[in-house]
Chain A
Amino acid sequence: MSDDILVMRGITKRFAGVTALHEVSLTVRRGEIHAICGENGAGKSTLMKVLSGVHPHGTYDGDILFEGEPCAFDGIRDSERRGIVIIHQELALCGQLSVAENLFLGNERSRRGFIDWNRTNHEAQALLDRVGLRENPTTPVNDLGVGKQQLVEIAKALSKEVSLLILDEPTAALNDDDSQHLLDLLDGLRNEGITSVIISHKLGEVIKIADTVTVLRDGKTIETLPAEGLSEERIISGMVGRDLEHRFPPRTPDIGEEVLRIEDWTVHSPAQPDRVVVDNATLSLRRGEIVGLAGLMGAGRTELAMSVFGRSYGVGISGRVVKDGQEIDTRTVRGAIRHGLAYVSEDRKKYGLNLIEGVQRNVSAAALDKLANRGWVNENEEYTVAERFRRSMGIRTAAVSTPTGTLSGGNQQKVVLAKWMFTDPDVLILDEPTRGIDVGAKYEIYSIINDLAAQGRAVLVISSELPELLGLCDRVYALSEGRITGEVSREEATQERLMQYMTRGQSS
């Protein structure tokens, strides 16, 4: 047997006139962890779909050699039979079913058509032990966090005699602890001889875990590099095709008066009303200032933001929101908007956009009254506004009427930002503004955030990526278990220091 478990040669894949992959080659050595990096739209996911048979043989050009044999997969079952298992970014689990049922979904442990529950749960327990998940196999998947669900997916892959495991953005939705556990697990699987291909935007992780890195750009293989001694900057330069010397656009802060203060803010969980989610938090924002809010997943960052913004989250809320020295009423979303607040959600598809409508109707959605006269909307004004934002923010879309569901992540995020810019807010709360966005588009979003601050607005950025907070913010608050545990200025801020605050007071 050769050293290469997988060889893909000259893969070309076209979609209705668009070339998604052009003569892409990929060679994966047996037993390694091979990372694939590239901007959104570079063709990473398409390549993995070709490999796993989602795009069946015949719909692409080129050869796939697995274990030295040419492959012609007709569907995902074909590739799974050969031991290639793909775990998609959006987890494919049935939340109402138990862990064990999910593990053997489509592959049930049965006798004459009836489920053998003893065997199902017994084998499930063994698989859970293998991935280090201490949960009962009969627990419904919905009761687990995202991190544990990810482990269930991997256990499911292991149940299928996997020899090549493909993970598409496995840690995108995980906090640092869960990410670390997942990476350790991959490391363990490598020792067992399982080869992994991971697609990831988190370059720090890639360098830590991978043996080899292949960079794709615009549907072409740019380079394959050993991960040893590789720097993030080196990978990025391959991904963007130019030296991105500074990942953050330059900015000279011009900070004015305090514009918003949140005082003694306490929020309880709607599911368990006696559980405190945000605990007596106080923070302030000044005009022209970009303030970060750091915290691990579950620290209460989004809950804090959404409870302030029209009580969109939580029960038993107490505290004061003071703007320009006056207490304001933000109990409804309309009230919050009227007082100049804007909240850009972390999940733009679920909470930000009407995906079946175009840029025009999305941009106007939060301030339709501004375009209306006695309840009637002036669509021509609306069009003009949408066109203006399309140009000024560089939103790449065929027309302002094209459904936003067809746009790339970066462009969708620009549409959401445009929607809130049109409300002319004094304070913007941006929750994970660059999640799932490629490097080039991130730079554009950072530029927009800088512009917003330069116009005298205050911006609160919530982010899981500490380098992003350090690169962008004038000041960073750290949140841990709902409490503000620290506040550091740009000069004092380091990842280590923030991480200390973020983990302070954690009962472990």
Chain B
Amino acid sequence: MTTKIAPAPAAAPPARSRRFSINLRQSGIYVAFALIVVLFAVLTDGALLQPQNISNIIVQNSYVLILAIGMILVIIGGHIDLSVGSTVALTGAICAVLTVQWGLPWPVAVLLTLLSGALIGAAQGYWIAYFGIPAFIVTLAGMLVFRALTLTTLGNQGIGPFPDEIRSLSNGFTGGYLGNIGLGPLGGADLVSLLAGLTFVAGFALSQWRKRAARLGYDQTVEPMPVFVLKIVGVGVVVMAVVVQLARFRNLPWVLVLLAALALGYSLMAGNSVFGRHIYSIGGNLQAATLSGVKVKAVTFWVFVNMGALAALAGVIFAGRLNQAGPTAGMSFELDAIAAAFIGGAAVQGGVGKVVGAITGGLIMGVINNGMSLIGAPSERVMLVKGLVLLAAVAYDVWTKRRA
């Protein structure tokens, strides 16, 4: 600035001296998840954390978690998608027709199914983004329409069984390519699974370290070293604990490998890509984004295309898991996915949320489901608890916002 500013600006505080404080609003969800896991581990006498049960939780919730990834992006953009449950059913049916009735090879069938999901998303995205009908209405209509199409496609009966490859994508496990090694009192465990876990943890540590180094290079505030180390160690211990349990059971479920890849990819996309950042800016302030040159309509359209494709993926996995495409598949999945996103810290107005948060939100519900059924709670009580957890999570979010 060449001209003198009238009131002297407050001296800029040096970047490093700003105290690092843990953001409770963002980390609250992880703390809550840990507490819920501990609670049910105690209530079930450790049955919750048995190898086979951990595997079950992942496999049983995989499709909701996949839907939650798409849903969080929709919600960040300030919309909602009520049609994903019906889309799961319709795409499952399409996949069944392609493989069972037409006998197409499974990779072609899966690809075509994903494409049909994308088309479903595109059709809804068109009405929402370019025609300007609220997503609530469009996807409510879609919920009915796609369920109707499912019934038409299936002729009111299930189609199955699916090819083995699709079934193993949903239910199967990685092979023991390198055999087992002994883990002392824990018994034998699959070496490939353990190596994969270790690679993941090492990769996480390395990427965090490089991120930290880059931030320091740009003279930014970073977490103090002990917090940083604690975070890495914490993630490492949790991941390895899960992997060891899985390796003792039947190796890694394929669907976990898929989920890990999706979670990683979509987290990066949401946080660091221009496209992802545009979703946040649209949800944060639509008009400001428009006047900043963001292609609001195109971004919104593609968010729904993506949601459709992910719903199709969930549809394939769900159908494969049941080994049959049924007319009632995916009932109320949209509500689970939406609940996962909001428990995971999304804001109703849009502009806020994280992929990892939505996955954690989905896992919280999964653990509650699983833990309560292990202790023999009736399903109405599970529903009651899930409803209250959703309310409590959003109430907590609103409360922390009000205090700030």
A interface residues (Cβ-Cβ under 8 A, vs B): 240, 244, 249-251, 309-310, 312, 332-334, 336-337, 343, 345, 350-357, 361, 365-366, 368-369, 372, 375-377, 379-381, 383-384, 387, 390-394, 396, 398-399, 419, 440, 443-444, 447-448, 450-451, 454
Q: Which of B5, B273, B287 contacts A351 (CB 8 A)?
A: B287
CB-CB under 8 A for A351 and B288, given A357-B351, A451-B1: yes
Q: Which residues of A contact B4 (CB under 8 A)?
A: 249, 447
A368 touches B272 (CB 8 A): no
Could you list 15 further interchain pairs (A-B, Cβ under 8 angstroms) beyond the known A354-B289, A399-B221? A333-B293, A334-B293, A343-B291, A345-B291, A355-B284, A356-B347, A361-B277, A368-B277, A372-B273, A375-B275, A377-B274, A381-B218, A443-B6, A447-B5, A451-B2
The secondary structure that dominates the A interface is helix
A394 touches B9 (CB 8 A): yes
In whole angstroms, how far apart are the Cα atoms of A379 and B271 in the complex? 9
Chain B positions 281-340 with a Cβ under 8 Å from a chain A Cβ? 281, 284-285, 287-295
In whole angstroms, how far apart are the Cα atoms of A334 and B293 in the complex? 5
Q: How far apart are A220's CB and chain B's nearest CB, in angstroms?
A: 17
In whole angstroms, how far apart are the Cα atoms of A393 and B284 in the complex? 24
In whole angstroms, how far apart are the Cα atoms of A250 and B10 in the complex? 23
In whole angstroms, how far apart are the Cα atoms of A391 and B284 in the complex? 25
Q: Does B352 contact A (CB under 8 A)?
A: yes
Q: How far apart are A252's CB and chain B's nearest CB, in angstroms?
A: 11
In whole angstroms, how far apart are the Cα atoms of A379 and B270 in the complex? 13
Q: How far apart are B381's CB and chain A's nearest CB, in angstroms?
A: 37
A444 touches B291 (CB 8 A): no
B5 touches A444 (CB 8 A): yes
Q: Which residues of B contact A394 (CB under 8 A)?
A: 5, 9
B272 touches A366 (CB 8 A): no
CB-CB under 8 A for A376 and B274, given A390-B12, A450-B3, A451-B3: yes
A440 touches B12 (CB 8 A): no
A396 touches B10 (CB 8 A): yes
In whole angstroms, how far apart are the Cα atoms of A11 and B97 in the complex? 76
B281 touches A365 (CB 8 A): yes
In whole angstroms, how far apart are the Cα atoms of A309 and B290 in the complex? 11
Q: Which of A354, A380, A448 contacts B351 (CB 8 A)?
A: A354
Q: How far apart are A312's CB and chain B's nearest CB, in angstroms?
A: 6
A249 touches B9 (CB 8 A): no
Q: Which residues of A contact B294 (CB under 8 A)?
A: 365
B288 touches A365 (CB 8 A): yes
CB-CB under 8 A for A334 and B281, given A353-B288, A354-B288: no
Q: Which of B2, B15, B217, B352 contacts A387 (CB 8 A)?
A: B15
The secondary structure that dominates the B interface is loop
Chain B positions 27-80 with a Cβ under 8 Å from a chain A Cβ? none
Q: How far apart are A405's CB and chain B's nearest CB, in angstroms?
A: 10
In whole angstroms, how far apart are the Cα atoms of A210 and B218 in the complex? 54
Q: Which residues of B contact A398 (CB under 8 A)?
A: 18
* A-B residue pairs in contact (CB < 8 Å), sample of 16: A240-B7, A250-B3, A336-B293, A354-B289, A354-B351, A365-B289, A366-B293, A368-B277, A375-B273, A380-B214, A380-B220, A383-B218, A391-B12, A399-B221, A450-B3, A451-B1
B 239-276 binary contact with A (CB < 8 Å = 1; else 0):
00000000000000000000000000000000011110
A377 touches B277 (CB 8 A): yes
Q: Does B215 contact A (CB under 8 A)?
A: yes
Q: Which residues of B contact A444 (CB under 8 A)?
A: 5-7
Closest A residue to B23 by CB, please name it: A401
Q: Which residues of A contact B281 (CB under 8 A)?
A: 354, 357, 361, 365
In whole angstroms, how far apart are the Cα atoms of A246 and B291 in the complex? 34
Q: Which residues of B contact A350 (CB under 8 A)?
A: 285, 287-288
CB-CB under 8 A for A353 and B3, given A312-B291, A334-B293: no
Q: Does B280 contact A (CB under 8 A)?
A: yes
CB-CB under 8 A for A384 and B6, given A333-B290, A355-B284, A377-B273: no
In whole angstroms, how far apart are the Cα atoms of A384 and B220 in the complex? 9
Q: How far apart are A246's CB and chain B's nearest CB, in angstroms?
A: 10
Q: Which residues of B contact A336 (CB under 8 A)?
A: 293
Q: Does B278 contact A (CB under 8 A)?
A: yes
In whole angstroms, how far apart are the Cα atoms of A380 and B272 in the complex? 11
Q: Which residues of B contact A361 (CB under 8 A)?
A: 277, 280-281
Q: Which residues of B contact A368 (CB under 8 A)?
A: 274, 277-278
Give the 10 A-B residue pairs with the shortest CB-CB distance, closest first: A394-B9, A354-B284, A366-B292, A443-B6, A447-B3, A380-B218, A333-B293, A334-B293, A365-B292, A354-B285
Q: Which residues of B contact A369 (CB under 8 A)?
A: 274
In whole angstroms, how far apart are the Cα atoms of A390 and B220 in the complex? 14
Q: How far apart are A147's CB and chain B's nearest CB, in angstroms?
A: 24
Q: How far apart are A360's CB and chain B's nearest CB, in angstroms?
A: 10
A377 touches B278 (CB 8 A): no
In whole angstroms, how far apart are the Cα atoms of A336 and B290 in the complex? 12
CB-CB under 8 A for A376 and B287, given A356-B352, A447-B5: no
B12 touches A355 (CB 8 A): no
Q: Which residues of B contact A376 (CB under 8 A)?
A: 272-274
Q: Which residues of B contact A352 (CB under 8 A)?
A: 288, 291
Q: Which residues of A contact B293 (CB under 8 A)?
A: 310, 332-334, 336-337, 366
CB-CB under 8 A for A356 and B351, given A333-B293, A383-B218, A419-B292: yes
Q: How far apart are B346's CB and chain A's nearest CB, in angstroms?
A: 12
Closest A residue to B215 by CB, please name it: A380
Q: Which residues of B contact A443 (CB under 8 A)?
A: 5-6
In whole angstroms, how far apart are the Cα atoms of A448 and B287 in the complex? 25
B2 touches A454 (CB 8 A): yes
In whole angstroms, how far apart are the Cα atoms of A380 and B210 in the complex? 12
Q: How far apart are B395's CB and chain A's nearest CB, in angstroms?
A: 19
Q: Which residues of B contact A448 (CB under 8 A)?
A: 1
CB-CB under 8 A for A380 and B217, given A366-B292, A396-B10, A440-B7: yes
Q: Which residues of B contact A310 (CB under 8 A)?
A: 291, 293
In whole angstroms, how far apart are the Cα atoms of A345 and B126 in the complex? 29
CB-CB under 8 A for A334 and B220, given A354-B281, A377-B274: no
Q: Which residues of B contact A391 (CB under 8 A)?
A: 12
Q: Which residues of A contact B15 (CB under 8 A)?
A: 387
Q: How far apart are A433's CB and chain B's nearest CB, in angstroms?
A: 15
Q: How far apart are A506's CB and chain B's nearest CB, in angstroms?
A: 30
Q: Which residues of A contact B9 (CB under 8 A)?
A: 394, 396
In whole angstroms, how far apart are the Cα atoms of A181 and B377 in the complex? 70
Q: How far apart are B289's CB and chain A's nearest CB, in angstroms?
A: 7
Q: How far apart are A423's CB and chain B's nearest CB, in angstroms?
A: 8
In whole angstroms, how far apart are the Cα atoms of A419 and B221 in the complex? 23
B284 touches A356 (CB 8 A): yes
Q: Which residues of A contact B287 (CB under 8 A)?
A: 350-351
Centre residue among B3, B6, B273, B287 by max chain A CB count within 10 A: B6
Closest A residue to B220 by CB, please name it: A383
In whole angstroms, how far apart are the Cα atoms of A309 and B291 in the complex? 8
B1 touches A447 (CB 8 A): yes
Q: How far apart are A342's CB and chain B's nearest CB, in angstroms?
A: 10
B291 touches A351 (CB 8 A): yes
B272 touches A377 (CB 8 A): yes
Closest A residue to B294 by CB, please name it: A365
In whole angstroms, how far apart are the Cα atoms of A440 and B280 in the complex? 33
In whole angstroms, how far apart are the Cα atoms of A376 and B272 in the complex? 6
Q: Which residues of A contact B218 (CB under 8 A)?
A: 380-381, 383-384
Q: How far apart are B159's CB and chain A's nearest CB, in angstroms?
A: 40
In whole angstroms, how far apart are the Cα atoms of A251 and B3 in the complex? 9
Chain B positions 207-243 with a Cβ under 8 Å from a chain A Cβ? 214-215, 217-218, 220-221
In whole angstroms, how far apart are the Cα atoms of A447 and B5 in the complex? 7
Q: Which residues of A contact B272 (CB under 8 A)?
A: 376-377, 379
Chain B positions 181-218 with a Cβ under 8 Å from a chain A Cβ? 214-215, 217-218
Closest A residue to B214 by CB, please name it: A380
CB-CB under 8 A for A375 and B7, given A391-B12, A447-B1: no
